[in-house]
């Protein structure tokens, strides 16, 4: 069979997803399988069991990252890896993360079915605590692997009941012996539902992901003076809320001024004293700015700070903006991006370039090896929700693209 004719078994992929979704299934049709719980352990056992049935060897590192390996003709070459995570949000869906892992497994099963040997080994990974629902930081396993933070820092993280990552890893039997980061990677691909509405809105099956947006999180405090709502004339008020709302509107306007990937969100607001007949004296709110490059993120930062300075001069109220968290934009490797594009074209799928507004384990992998991502649509762009849904044919299409992209990077042995 020629490489261009290769297709995965979409029915098998779907059945695997539905089988994994039974572990932690919720009454509303979603999944609650928090990191390092008994249910996570059961999910890990199921997936690694499938890998061993497919002839793969399993290696686990000290933070619980799992690497499932199909040998190549030349096992001295670093593996072409794919993966994601199998932990979920408390009210998560069947596909976020899980699809990326099981798509990798389906690639291996298809290669086995067709008797195809690759030049380099193929590996499927799943990373510990990507969601960060039970333990922080998010993307913990891939972050430790990357060296973004230490193993000791991750081990010491506690959930709301005071249980530590290290103790829970030991309890479910997934604290391995390999040092995180010692595992070689030749290149890395991650297949994922989009978690947004762009592909569906554009009627495209495949998103060729060029990178992940940079993120800037801020805490903003506007300080005026609380006073009685009746006796205080309008011209003499120092109304913190009215000034804050003007700045909030500018957060959204700022994103529109930096297209096409600018994002601006105010998601949390606290008004003091929050009384019906008192002029607000202080407002605290969050600002979330995102864009495709660090330069654009910095431009948005300067934009908002400039507007805040103008408001201070105009109103006399104090405005304080503190950067509390920052994640750099992460472009993906041009060759890996092109491999995804080539596969989509070969297979005849409608595709478009896309960016990821959310973080993924691929962000850390892209700092270690050539990396790329593949998006498929999800219904109404909804994710991190029990009603998260994706069409079986779209999932199969993304897996086919993954298969062909990985083959391009791993090489088909003669």
275-324 pLDDT tens trace: 999 999 999 999 999 999 999 999 999 999 999 999 999 999 999 999 99
Is the confidence at residue 91, as pLDDT, over 70? yes
Domain boundaries, the chain: 3-212+329-410, 214-327
Q: Rounded CA gap, 151 and 63, in Å?
A: 7
Q: Rounded CA gap, 289 and 265, in Å?
A: 7
Average pLDDT along the chain: 97
Ramachandran angles phi, psi of 390, nearest 5°: -145, 150
Task: Determine the average pLDDT of the residues in 90-110.
Answer: 98
Asked if residue 108 lies in contact with residue 150, where contact means CB atoms within 8 angstroms, the answer is no
Asked if residue 216 lies in contact with residue 362, where contact means CB atoms within 8 angstroms, the answer is no
Structure tokens at 203: 């009627």
What is the reported pTM? 0.92
Asked if residue 141 lies in contact with residue 65, where contact means CB atoms within 8 angstroms, the answer is yes
Residue 3 gets which letter from DSSP? G
What CATH code would you report for 3-212+329-410?
A: 3.40.630.10
pLDDT of 3 reads: 78
Residue 158 gets which letter from DSSP? B
Q: Residue 184: helix, strand or coil by DSSP? A: coil
pLDDT 10s digits, 28-59: 999 999 999 999 999 999 999 999 999 999 99
Query: Buried b / exposed e across 132-167, counting CB within 10 Å, b at 16+?
Result: bbbbeeebbbbbbbbebeebeebbebebeeebbbbe
The CATH number of domain 214-327, selected from 3.30.70.360, 3.40.50.880, 3.40.1190.10, 3.90.1150.10: 3.30.70.360
Asked if residue 130 lies in contact with residue 140, where contact means CB atoms within 8 angstroms, the answer is yes
Structure tokens at 361: 């384990």
Q: For residue 137, is the peptide bond before it cis, meaning its omega torsion is within 30 degrees of 0?
A: yes
Q: E strand or H helix at 80, and its extent?
A: strand 80-84
Task: Determine the average pLDDT of the residues in 232-253.
Answer: 98
pLDDT of 2 reads: 74
Is the confidence at residue 118, as pLDDT, over 70? yes
Asked if residue 379 lies in contact with residue 200, where contact means CB atoms within 8 angstroms, the answer is yes
Q: What percent of the chain is predicted at pLDDT more than 70?
A: 100
- 3-212+329-410 and 214-327, same CATH topology: no
Q: Rounded CA gap, 25 and 333, in Å?
A: 36
pLDDT 10s digits, 185-218: 999 999 999 999 999 999 999 999 999 999 999 9
């Amino acid at each position: 069979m020629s490489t261009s004719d290769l297709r995965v078994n979409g029915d098998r992929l779907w059945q695997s997803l539905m089988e994994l979704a039974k572990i932690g299934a919720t009454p509303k049709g979603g999944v609650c399988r928090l990191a390092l719980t008994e249910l996570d352990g059961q999910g890990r056992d199921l997936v690694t069991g499938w890998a061993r049935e497919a002839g793969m060897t399993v290696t686990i590192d000290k933070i619980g990252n799992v690497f499932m390996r199909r040998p190549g003709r030349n096992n001295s070459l670093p593996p072409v890896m794919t993966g994601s995570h199998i932990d979920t949000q408390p009210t998560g869906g069947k596909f976020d993360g899980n699809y990326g892992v099981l798509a990798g497994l389906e690639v291996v099963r298809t290669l086995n079915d067709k008797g195809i040997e690759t030049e380099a080994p193929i590996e499927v990974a799943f990373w510990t605590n990507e969601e960060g629902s039970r333990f922080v930081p998010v993307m913990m396993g891939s972050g430790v692997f990357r060296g973004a933070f230490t193993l000791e820092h991750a081990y010491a993280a506690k959930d709301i009941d005071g249980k530590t990552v290290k103790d829970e890893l030991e309890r479910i039997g997934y604290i391995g012996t390999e040092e995180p980061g010692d595992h070689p990677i030749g290149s890395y691909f991650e297949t994922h539902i989009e978690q947004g509405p762009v592909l569906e809105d554009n009627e495209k099956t495949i998103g060729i992901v060029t990178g992940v947006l940079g993120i800037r999180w801020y805490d903003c405090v506007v300080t005026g003076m609380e006073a009685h709502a009746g006796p205080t004339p309008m011209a003499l008020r120092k109304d913190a809320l009215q000034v804050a709302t003007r700045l909030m509107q500018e957060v959204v306007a700022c994103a529109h001024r930096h297209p096409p990937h600018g994002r601006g969100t105010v998601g949390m607001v606290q008004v003091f004293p929050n009384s019906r007949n008192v002029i607000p004296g202080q407002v605290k709110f969050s600002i979330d700015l995102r864009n495709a490059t660090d330069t654009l993120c910095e431009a948005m930062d300067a934009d908002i700070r400039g507007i805040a300075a103008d408001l201070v001069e105009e109103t006399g109220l104090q405005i304080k903006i503190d950067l509390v968290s920052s994640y750099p934009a992460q472009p993906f490797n041009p060759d890996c991006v092109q491999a995804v594009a080539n596969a989509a074209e070969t297979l005849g799928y409608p595709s478009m370039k896309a960016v990821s507004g959310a973080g993924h384990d691929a962000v850390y992998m892209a700092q270690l090896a050539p990396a790329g991502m593949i998006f498929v649509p999800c219904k109404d762009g909804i994710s991190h929700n029990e009603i998260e849904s994706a069409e079986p044919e779209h999932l199969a299409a993304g897996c086919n693209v993954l298969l062909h992209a990985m083959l391009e990077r791993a090489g088909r042995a003669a």
